[in-house]
Structure formats: C-alpha cells, structure tokens
C-alpha cells in the first residue's frame, strides 16, 4: 500500500471493503427489514466462533474510497448496515457523513472494542469478553446483542446490561454452532428474565446472505 493510500485509510477516507450486499437484516431489533450491508475488513477481537473470520486481516481487503461505497449503496437501499470485521477499527466519520448527506438511515454492528466514531441512527452493540466495549458505545447503544455460546455467557450478558443506557433493548442470540444446545437455555432464561428478548440469525434459516 502506498503511503498516500495508508494516510487516506488512517483518515477514514478510504476503507478496506470486504463485501457489500443487499439483503434482509437477520438479527436484532430490525430483523426482517431490507438493508444494504457494507462489510469492512479488519478485526483483532478474535472470537473463536466468529462467522466471518475471512474479514479479520484488513490487508486482504482493498482500500476503497468512501465516495465509491456511498455511490454504490444508495442505488440499493435507504437503510445501510455497516458491519465487519470490526468497523470501529476505522474512523467512521467520513463514511457516515456522506451516507447522511444522501438521506440514508445508517446502522452499525459493532463489538464496541474501539472508540465510537461516526453519526449513527442505530447502534447494535455485541460485546466480547476479550476486548470490552468503550464507554461511549455503552452510552449510545440502541440494542445490546449478547451471544450465548455457553452458560457463563448469561453472567457476562447481565454484566454488560448493567453498563448500557436505560433505553437500550436487550437481546440474547444463540451462537450458531451451539444453537441446538443453547436455544432451550435462552428460552428458559428469557421467560425467567423478561427484560431480555431472543434474537436469532434468521438470515441463516432463510438461506440468504
């Protein structure tokens, strides 16, 4: 990568773009809603069950001008979901400013591991034990989506629920490979603790991206 491109990436004017696709938001509060997904490469959180490990190494994904991402996205949908990788690895100011200027509703899927940048209409925080969220993300999250892989994840979810703002909607989502085992545990937990709701990865049942 040339120094010039590196500088633009550092400023968030170019971003390592892994893939973009028009689909239905499968998870959380906006599940069932058509949206254009922009997946930005780069993540060093290291979840062993991550379903997009191909996203982790930023260098494998071409630095792409934010203008180009926006020009493409606006042809598909008024609702854009920025995900990754971990999008907050990068400065999201430019991308969200330009999407907003086009009147789009912009959502982020984040672990919150890095400082919140950008202006968002919806923030989905999915915290991870290995790299806890920064305070700014807890303060602004619209939904908290905790992944349940084993029993200890319920304890972690309660700990995380203490840290988010009072309006944040609380979800428990089964880790996909453990779904047969953990779905019954989640069902019982939500009935006993109704401040939580169930979130499923419905796109995987629909066989869509």
Ligand X SMILES: Nc1nc2[nH]cc(C(=O)O)c2c(=O)[nH]1
Ligand Y SMILES: C[S@@+](CC[C@H](N)C(=O)[O-])C[C@H]1O[C@@H](n2cnc3c(N)ncnc32)[C@H](O)[C@@H]1O
Query: Restricting to residues 98-137, which ones interact with ligand SF4 according to CB under 6 A?
Result: 111, 128
Residue indicated by tokens 């069932």: 32
Backbone phi, psi, residue 80, to 5°: -115, 130
Backbone phi, psi, residue 76, to 5°: -105, -40
Q: Examine residue 169 and tell whether it contacts ligand SF4 (CB under 6 A).
A: no
Which residue number, 7 or 59, has a Cβ lying nearer to ligand Y? 59
User: What's the rounded Cα separation, in Å, for the pair 40 and 52?
Assistant: 11
x/- letters, 23..42, toward ligand Y (CB under 6 A): --------------------
Choose from ligand X, ligand SF4, ligand Y, none: what does 153 bind? Cβ within 5-8 Å by kind: none
Number of residues that bind ligand SF4 (CB under 6 A): 12
Q: What does the angle CA 192 – CA 193 – CA 198 come to, to the nearest 5 degrees? A: 100
Q: Examine residue 145 and tell whether it contacts ligand Y (CB under 6 A).
A: yes
* All residues at 6 or more sequence positions from 111 whose CB lies less than 8 Å from its CB, including other chains: 43, 45, 86, 88, 125, 126, 127, 128, 131, 133
List, in sequence order, every residue forming a beta bridge with 144; answer none if it has no partner. Answer: 125, 170
Choose from ligand X, ligand SF4, ligand Y, none: what does 62 bind? Cβ within 5-8 Å by kind: none
Shortest distance, position 50 Cβ to ligand X, whole Å: 10
CA-based nearest residue to 87, from 72, 67, 106: 106
x/- letters, 14..33, toward ligand X (CB under 6 A): ---------xxxxx------
Say whether 43 counts as a known binding-site residue.
yes
Q: Examine residue 84 and tell whether it contacts ligand SF4 (CB under 6 A).
A: yes
List, in sequence order, every residue forming a beta bridge with 197; answer none if it has no partner. Answer: 171
Which residues contribute to the site for ligand SF4 (CB under 6 A)?
43, 45-47, 50, 52, 55, 84-86, 111, 128
């Amino acid at each position: 990568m040339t120094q010039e491109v590196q500088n633009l990436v550092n400023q968030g004017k170019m971003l390592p773009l892994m893939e973009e696709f028009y689909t239905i938001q499968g998870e959380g509060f906006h599940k069932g809603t058509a949206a254009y997904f922009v997946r930005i490469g780069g993540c060093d959180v290291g979840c062993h069950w991550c379903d997009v490990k191909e996203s982790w190494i930023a260098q494998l994904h071409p630095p792409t001008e934010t203008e180009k991402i926006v020009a493409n996205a606006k042809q598909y949908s008024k609702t854009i979901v920025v995900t990754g990788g971990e999008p907050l690895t990068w400065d999201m100011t430019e991308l969200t400013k330009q999407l907003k200027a086009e009147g789009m509703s912009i959502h982020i899927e984040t672990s919150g591991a890095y400082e919140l940048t950008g202006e968002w209409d919806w923030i989905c925080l999915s915290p991870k034990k290995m790299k806890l969220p920064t305070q700014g993300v807890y303060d602004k999250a619209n939904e908290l989506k905790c992944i349940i892989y084993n029993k200890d994840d319920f304890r972690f979810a309660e700990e995380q629920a203490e840290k988010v703002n009072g309006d944040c909607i609380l979800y428990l989502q089964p880790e996909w490979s453990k779904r047969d085992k953990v779905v019954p545990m989640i069902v019982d937990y939500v009935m006993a603790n109704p401040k939580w709701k169930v979130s499923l990865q419905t796109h995987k049942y629909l066989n869509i991206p």
